[in-house]
Structure 1
Amino acid sequence: MIRWVLTIFLALVVFSAAMPWLQKLGIGRLPGDVRFRIFGREVFLPFASTLLLSAIAATLGKLL
C-alpha cells in the first residue's frame, strides 16, 4: 500500500513539473484532471492524465 501511495505521489510531482510541455500535447485537459486556485496559487492534480500515461508506460513495458 505504501509503495502505491509513493508511486502516485512521485507521478504527480513529475507531471506537475512537466505540465507546460505536456499541455502542448493535450495532456492535462482530460476529464478527471483537477485544477483550482487556493490562496493565490494554482493547484493542479492530474488524476486522469496520470492514469493514461501509466497505462501507456505499462503497455510499452510489456511490449519491450
Structure 2
Amino acid sequence: MGKILILIGAVILIVGLLVQFTNLDFSWFGRLPGDIRIEKPGVSVFFPWVSMLLVSAVFSIIWWLLKKIGF
C-alpha cells in the first residue's frame, strides 16, 4: 500500500510540474459534452458528469494495470 501511495504522489507531482512549467491546456476539462451547466441570474450550478466519468475510467485503468504487474 505504501508503494502505491508513493507512486500516486510522484505522478501528481510530475503532472503538477508539467502543467506549471509547460503550455499544457486543460481548458477542455469540465466542458465536455454531457457536463451539466446551469447559469441563471444569481445562481450557477455545475455537474461535471462526463468529466468525472473520464477521471474514474482513467484511475480504474491505472489501478488495474498496477494490480496486473504486481505493484
1:60 aligns with 2:37: no
CA deviations over 1:14-60 (Å, ceiling 9, x no partner) = xxxxxxxxxx5121111100111246121100111011110000000
Q: Structure 1: where are the runs of 5+ without partners?
A: 1-23
Larger radius of gyration: 2
Q: TM-score, normalised by structure 2?
A: 0.51
TM superposition score normalised by structure 1:
0.56
What is the DSSP-based 3-state SS (H/G/I as helix, E as strand, rest coil) of the residue aligned with 1:42? strand
Residue equivalent to 1:8? none
Name the % identity: 44
Whole-angstrom distance in 2 between the partners of 1:55 and 1:45: 17
Between the two structures, name the one with larger relative contact order (CA 8 Å, sep ≥ 6): 1
Number of corresponding residues: 41
Runs of 4+ in 1 over 3 A off after TM superposition: none
